[in-house]
Structure 1
Amino acid sequence: MSVSYTHRLAIATSIAEPGIHPDDKHLVASLKGFGVQTMACIWNDPAVDWTAFDAVLIRSIWDYFKHYASFKQWLAQLPVPTINNKELLLWNSDKRYLIELEKHGVPIIPTQVVSASQLQNTLAAMPAREVVIKPTVSGTAWHTVRGVAGETEFDQAVARLPLELDYLVQPYLPEVASDGEWSLLFFGGEYSHAVIKRPKAGDYRVQSDYGGVAQAAEPSASLLASAARVLEAAAAIGHADGAYARIDGIVSEGRFLLMELEMIEPFLHLGHRADASERFAAHLFKRLSGSASHAGHAVWQAP
C-alpha cells in the first residue's frame, strides 16, 4: 500500500543531530497526516538535492554559528524557500537584533555589543559587576562566560575568547536561577504554549546540555502581552512572516525582559504537547499549500 503526498518538505538538521529530533517526531507524524512528506537533510551536506523539495523547514541546525560564513552562503544559494524565510533567518542569526528591538520599545536585558579587542576596556568600566559575555552569533552557550569584572579568573577566561568574534556584554540577573527563564512559543504569530527553564544548582545555563530542565507553565495575561509585543516589534522592523518563534526572557522587578527571540532553530518543546505539534503542522501545511514553489509539482507516491 502506498501513501500519496502532495508536498515534500526537507527538515534541515546538522551532523550533530542528523535525524529527526525526538522533540519533532509528532510534528513529522502530523505533517504526514496532512499529506506532507518529510526528510531529514543535513544542512551543509553537499549531496542533498534541495530542488527535490517544496521548502526547507529549519530545525536542528545546531552548529550553524560555528560555520557562519558557510551558513550564509548556503542560504543565499538555496533554490527553494525556507521556513522561516531567508531574510528573517539572517536578521535573527546575529543577536544585534536585540538592540533593534529595544529601539522599537521592547525591554531587554541591558546589552552592549563589543568587539573582542574592546572587551577588557568594557569590563574595566564595570568593576565588581557580575556579567555574562556571549558571541553575537552563537547558540547553546557557545563561547559564553560568566563572572565578576576585575576578578583574575574571569579576566583570564575573557582573554581566551576568540578574537575574531563580536560579543554581547550583559549584567547577570539572578532571576535566571531563582525564578527561571520563560520560553513562550508562537506559531504563525499565535501563542501556542510555554515552559519555564531552570539551570541546575550552581549553574546559570538553562540548556539541557548543562543540566537545565524545563517544565510546562501558563503565562499571565501581562506576560503573554509582553511576548506578543516582541513579535509586533519584529514586524515593525520588517520581519512579520514568522512561522515559528520562541520568546525567551525573565521577569525582573515586575517587567518581562527579553533575552532572545529565537526564530532560526529553536527547540520548540513539542515532546509532551501533541496539540502543539498538530497546530504547528496545520500551519506549515497551510503555508506549503499557498507556496508558489509548489505549483507544477506532481503528487508523490511513497511506500
Structure 2
Amino acid sequence: MLLRSVWDYHTRYVEFAEWLGLLDKAEVPVFNDSDLVRWNADKRYLLELRERGVAIVPTQIAAGPCLREVVAGLTGQEIVVKPTVGANALQTIRGIAGSDELSRAMDDLPEAAYLVQPFLPEIQSEGEWSLLFIDGEFSHAVLKRPADGDYRVQLVLGGTSALAEAPSAVREAATAALAAVDTRRAPLYARVDGVVAGGRFLLMELELIEPYLYLLDFPAADDKLATALAARLD
C-alpha cells in the first residue's frame, strides 16, 4: 500500500496508528514502512537525528506547564511553537517570547507536546528548500516562499514554490540527513525540508508520510517512483 491520501493523519493520529497496526497484522506491505511512518509521525525524531550528527533548527520539546517554562527561558527572542504531531502549520504560532501577544496565543493551544524553535528570518528572505528523494536517490528540488508578511510556506496559506537547482552543499546536507535515518533500506520516497541559515543547511522536517512530492513540477519523477515501487513489490 502506497500512502498517498491520509492528509489528516495528524488530527486523527490514534486512529491512524491503529489502522497501521491492522495493516501489519494482515501483513500488508506499506510504503513507506509502517515502523518508519510511526517514527516519522512525531517530530521528536529531530532530536534523534541531531544526536546522529544532522544539523537541525535548534529545537526544544515541551508539553503542559513545561511549555511556558521553556518559552520563559527565551524571553525577548522571536520563536515559533508547533506541535510535534502536526502538518500544514496547524496550531503553529510565532511571536516574541515573554510578550502578551504570544502568551494569549499559547492560551489557545490544545494540550500536546510542542517544538519550540527560534524564528529564522531566512525563511522569508531566502525561502525554504524541499529536496525530493526516490528510493534513496535525489530526484529534484523546489524552493518555497511564504506570502508577503507571512512565514508559512504552505500552498494552502498563500505560499509559492518553484522548481530550483539546489546548491551542492544543500544537496549533500539533505542526502546526509536522509542517510541518518535508522532503516535497513532507504525510504521509497522522502522529502527533506530545510533552510540555509548561518551558511549551512538546517533540517526543519523530514517528510516520510505521503508528503507532497511536487510531481507536477518534475513529471519525470512519476516514472522513477512507479519503477521503484514495482521493484519493491516484485
What's the offset of the Cα at 1:240? 3.5
Question: What's 2:96 paired with?
Answer: 148
One-letter code aligned to 2:41: S
What's the offset of the Cα at 1:238? 3.2
CA contact (8 A) 1:192 1:276 kept: yes
1:268-301 deviation per Cα after TM superposition (whole angstroms, max 9, x unaligned): 0001322111111111111111xxxxxxxxxxxx
Partner Cα distance (2:49, 2:229) in 1: 26
Question: What's 1:13 paired with?
Answer: none
Question: What's 2:139 paired with?
Answer: 192
What's the offset of the Cα at 1:136? 0.5
One-letter code aligned to 1:131: I
**Higher RCO structure (Cα 8 Å, ≥6 apart):** 1
Asked whether 1:68 is paired with 2:13, we answer yes
Q: Root-mean-square deviation (CA), in Å?
A: 1.0
Asked whether 1:253 is paired with 2:201, we answer no
One-letter code aligned to 1:70: E
Unaligned 5+ segments in structure 2 are: none
One-letter code aligned to 1:169: V
What's the offset of the Cα at 1:239? 5.7
CA contact (8 A) 1:116 1:161 kept: no
One-letter code aligned to 1:191: F
Asked whether 1:221 is paired with 2:168, we answer yes
1:89-130 deviation per Cα after TM superposition (whole angstroms, max 9, x unaligned): 000000000000000000000000101321111111111111
Question: What's 2:51 paired with?
Answer: 103
1:140-199 deviation per Cα after TM superposition (whole angstroms, max 9, x unaligned): 011111111111111111121112x10000000000010000000000000000000000
What is the TM-score when the length of structure 1 is the normalising length? Answer: 0.75
Alignment of 1:104-123 (within 5 A): 104-123=52-71
Q: 1:172 aligns with which of 119, 131, 143?
A: 119
Question: Residues 239, 96 of structure 1: CA spacing in aligned structure 2 closer, same or farther, 3 A cutoff?
Answer: farther
CA contact (8 A) 2:162 2:217 kept: no
Partner Cα distance (1:281, 1:205) in 2: 31
Range 275-284 or range 85-94, more displaced:
275-284
Say which SS state the counterpart of residue 5 (structure 2) adopts. coil
Aligned length: 231
Partner Cα distance (1:113, 1:229) in 2: 23
Unaligned 5+ segments in structure 1 are: 1-55, 290-303
One-letter code aligned to 2:70: T
Say which SS state the counterpart of residue 232 (structure 2) adopts. helix
CA contact (8 A) 2:3 2:210 kept: yes
One-letter code aligned to 1:86: S
CA contact (8 A) 1:206 1:213 kept: yes
Say which SS state the counterpart of residue 113 (structure 1) adopts. strand
Q: 1:182 aligns with which of 101, 106, 129?
A: 129
Partner Cα distance (2:184, 2:177) in 1: 11
Say which SS state the counterpart of residue 106 (structure 1) adopts. coil
Bigger-Rg structure (1/2): 1
Runs of 4+ in 1 over 4 A off after TM superposition: none
What's the offset of the Cα at 1:83? 0.5
Q: 1:278 aligns with which of 211, 223, 226?
A: 223
Asked whether 1:266 is paired with 2:211, we answer yes
Partner Cα distance (2:185, 2:230) in 1: 19
Partner Cα distance (2:118, 2:184) in 1: 28
Partner Cα distance (1:245, 1:219) in 2: 16
